[in-house]
A and B are shown apart, each in its own frame.
Chain A
Amino acid sequence: MRGLVKGLGITLKNMTKPSVTHRYPDVPLPMPDRFRGIQYFDPDLCIVCNQCVRICPTDCITLTGKKHPDPEKKGKVIDTYDINFEICILCDLCTEVCPTEAIVMTNNYELAVYSRDDLFKNMEWLHQNDENVRKENNLNKPNLAPGGNKK
């Protein structure tokens, strides 16, 4: 009998508490840094080393390079860079392996589309995906600069 009254008291008190739900589709849900979201790609940094393609466990990245337009310079520049988000598992390996941080993770995650074709994202799209880029990627960290822990 006392339990019933107690329960009623608890529910009545709960009514005044703020709701714990998110207004998600209306208000974006902020993700913590290190969240593995849709990649951001910077073509200027890419050296066409192909490491991301080789490490990718689902083979969802395809890229092509071309010779550097300036004949003085060595190496290649990126020509096309596509990620197929039908099979990308957002495992973070491509961004881990990238030596120049040309490809980094962002906190964006909304990939739902009506057509499977729309999940095939090209270089332009990935470059425009420049919001909520992960702050903690290696190049942005001053004392973890490439070359190890030199002061």
Chain B
Amino acid sequence: MNPVLVMGPILLLFVVLGFVTMAILFERKVIGWIQMRPGPNRVGPWGILQTVADVLKLLIKEDIIPSKADKPLFKLAPAIAFIPAFAVLAVIPFTESLQFSQFAVGILYYLAVSSITIIGILMGGWASNNKYALLGAMRSAAQMISYEIPLVMSVVGIILSVGSLNLVEIVEAQKQVWFIFPQFLGFAVFFIASLSELNRTPFDLPEAESELVAGYHVEYTGFRFAFFMLSEYVYVFAMASLTTVLFLGGWNAPFGLTMIPGIVWFVLKFLLIVFSLFWIRATMPRVRVDQLMEFAWKVLLPVALFNILLTAVLQEVPYLDFLYRL
């Protein structure tokens, strides 16, 4: 077996875990700065070990499984929630050479696999045998399924323009213009829907700490709870990568600054997306549950459909079609 094929994913796992550790710290730091306080600064220099300490605390906690819970499902749910989060990273092209697999339906694979996580969440809520966990899980599932549709629809504009579902081809089509410009509507819908998919503020109703106890993972403690949290942050990694690839031109350098290697550009764009997630979290209040569904079905979906129509029409307009037919 090719050692690169084995070591690559393991290395990626460590990169992702490192990202998750730093992302949680950075999120708390950014929110702290925005609220004019220093953020975590007690554990290690600059609070660098804060997440490590938090995770360590979770790992040494007692592993409680409620006596009335469905034990096999209860144990399986965190794994089912996490595995797709890591599996979707297989299709993300980080640079021309740094990619794990390249196949024709990359974006479809991402969207299909990522929705398996909903089953893990539903399973966790159901297996807990707790009415609040079940309600939280139902709400999460409803939200994630509803927002998946505008998310997919907003990408259709890009697929129409490129004529391919292959993520590498999508990046290569953005050599001249990034899709954020011709597909701005699509980007707006995609970004909002991805916030909701990630269960982040303003769409963090499934686990609104200040209102509910926790949502679908009320009954989870220690390691299993950490796994749910981990899958959430791995999705942040995956979603930020996907946004970079789809709308910000992946590893393409802006203004012809090609002497800076592609991976640096990718990381910069990726960090910009991650920062905006934290920034929005520190700014926006949470939406109401009745506004949540209406927003997905009555605002985002029509806008996404309009974007598809617009793309299809503009493909036929002379002088503009170079933006929409790549």
Interface residues, chain A, CB within 8 Å of chain B?
4, 7-8, 10-12, 14-15, 17-21
How far, in whole Å, are A103 and B283 apart by their CA atoms in the complex?
A: 52
Chain B residues with CB under 8 Å of A4's CB are 283-284
For A10, the chain B residues whose CB sits under 8 A away are: 283
- For residue A62, give the distance in angstroms from its CB to the closest CB of chain B: 41
Give Cα distance in the complex from A19 to B37, angstroms.
4
Q: How far is the CB of B188 from chain A (nearest CB, A)?
A: 11
Is the CB–CB distance between A11 and B37 below 8 Å?
no
CB distance from A3 to the nearest CB of B (A): 10
Cα A18 to Cα B35 with chains together (Å): 10
7 additional contacts (CB under 8 A) given A15-B30, A15-B34 = A4-B283, A4-B284, A7-B284, A8-B280, A12-B279, A15-B33, A19-B36
For the complex, give the distance between the alpha carbons of A2 and B174 in Å.
30
A15 — nearest CB in chain B belongs to which residue?
A: B33
**B residues whose Cβ falls under 8 Å from a Cβ of A:** 30, 32-38, 279-280, 282-284
Least Cβ distance of B240 to chain A in Å? 18
Tell me how far the C-beta of B185 lies from the nearest C-beta in chain A, rounded to whole angstroms.
Answer: 14
Which of chain A's residues have a CB closer than 8 A to the CB of B33? 14-15, 19
Tell me which residues across on chain B come within 8 A of A19, comparing CB atoms.
Answer: 32-33, 36-38
Is B279 a contact partner of A8 (Cβ separation < 8 A)? Answer: yes
Nearest residue (CB) in B for A17 is B36
Q: Contact between B34 and A11 (Cβ–Cβ < 8 Å)?
A: yes
User: CA of A19 to CA of B40 in the docked complex: distance in angstroms?
Assistant: 13
Q: Are B37 and A21 within 8 A (Cβ)?
A: yes
CA distance A136 to B245 in the complex (A): 68
Indicate if the CB atoms of B283 and A11 lie closer than 8 Å: yes
Top 3 A-B pairs, shortest CB-CB distance? A11-B283, A15-B33, A21-B37
* Chain A residues in 8 Å Cβ range of B283: 4, 7-8, 10-11
- Do residues A18 and B279 form an inter-chain contact, with CB atoms below 8 A? no
Point out the residues of chain A lying under 8 angstroms from B284, CB to CB. 4, 7
Flag if B36 contacts A11 (CB, 8 Å).
Answer: no
Residues of B within 8 A of A14 (CB): 33-36
Give the contacting residue for A20; candidates B34, B36, B280; CB below 8 A: B36
A15 CA to B35 CA in the complex, in Å? Answer: 8
Q: How far is the CB of B180 from chain A (nearest CB, A)?
A: 17
CA distance in complex: A21, B41 (Å): 12
A100 to B191, CA, bound (A): 73
For the complex, give the distance between the alpha carbons of A61 and B194 in Å. Answer: 66
Nearest residue in A to B202 (C-beta to C-beta)?
Answer: A4
Cα A80 to Cα B35 in complex, Å, equals 51
Q: Cα distance A11–B283 when bound, in Å?
A: 6
CA distance A96 to B292 in the complex (A): 63
Partner of A21, one of B38, B279, B282: B38
Contact B282 A11 (CB under 8 A): yes
B212 to chain A, nearest CB (A): 24
B-side contacts of A20, CB under 8 Å: 36-37
A21 to B30 Cα, complex, angstroms: 15
CB nearest to A14 among chain B residues: B34
Q: Roughly how many angstroms separate A121 CA and B248 CA in the complex, as a whole number?
A: 68
Distance in angstroms between the alpha carbons of A14 and B37 in the assembled complex: 10
Docked Cα-Cα span, A7 to B34, in Å, equals 11
A133 to chain B, nearest CB (A): 32
A-B contact list, 12 entries, CB within 8 Å: A4-B284, A7-B284, A8-B279, A11-B279, A11-B283, A14-B33, A14-B34, A14-B36, A19-B33, A19-B37, A20-B36, A21-B38
In the complex, which residues of chain A have a beta carbon less than 8 angstroms from the beta carbon of B36? 14, 17-21
A12 to B282, CA, bound (A): 10
A21 and B36 alpha carbons, distance in the complex (Å): 8
Residues of A within 8 A of B279 (CB): 8, 11-12
B284 to chain A, nearest CB (A): 7
* A117, B34: Cα distance in complex, Å: 44
Residues of A within 8 A of B34 (CB): 11-12, 14-15
